[in-house]
Amino acid sequence: MFDHQIKELFLRYGLENHFPVDPFLIASKEKIIVFHSDCEFSDRFGMIRKSKHQGIIFYLASNWDLTHQRFFLAHLLAHFFLHLSDQEHVHMHCHITYATDLGTTNRKECEADEFARCLMIPEHFLNKCLTNKKSIAYISQQLDVPQNQVHARIKQLKSEHSRNSSNHLLPKDNVG
């Protein structure tokens, strides 16, 4: 769904061959300051502040492992690219349910998670791994993303493919 947008983003910054994707590098290219915080994040994983004076600042929960932090940052970047461009002042936070719990129904939060998965889990790499019968654990480790997000990305691509009735289907027997 967001693959075209993400391809343009990689081209703009010459990141096509960076592997695995580094959301910290993308944030720095966008001149976003990323702070780590461990005090106010009992139920949040991140916060975004945008103002004329300070520019854009992300606050990222540091009480999670780096794999999760990378995904959280990709989620915050998604808000930045999709939802905040026309807003001058922003002060928002993301509840921990999003980016970890795949049952969320909030539209913008779902979009941010989906964008983050497209960003962090490239379709061509995923297809190659599934064709070669690689495990979810292997894919998760190679891409440095949480395993449940790999599951969700496979599900997402399958439903896109069945909607488009494409003949290029992901193998069915490698999910589980």
* Binding footprint of Zn ion on the chain (CB under 5 A): 94, 98, 109, 112
Q: Which is nearer to Zn ion, 78 or 154 (CB)?
A: 78
Tell me how far apart the alpha carbons of residues 151 and 139 are, in angstroms, rounded to a whole number. Answer: 10
Residues 34 and 24 sit within 8 Å (Cβ to Cβ): yes
Closest CA to 84 of 118, 126, 119, 55: 55
CB of 108 to Zn ion, least distance (A): 7
**Residue with Cβ nearer Zn ion (112 or 129):** 112
The residues that bridge with 55 in the sheet, in sequence order, are: 51
- What minimum distance in Å lies between the beta carbon of 62 and Zn ion? 17
Bridging pattern class, strands 44-51 and 90-95: antiparallel
**93 vs 151 by CB, closer to Zn ion:** 93
CB of 39 to Zn ion, least distance (A): 20
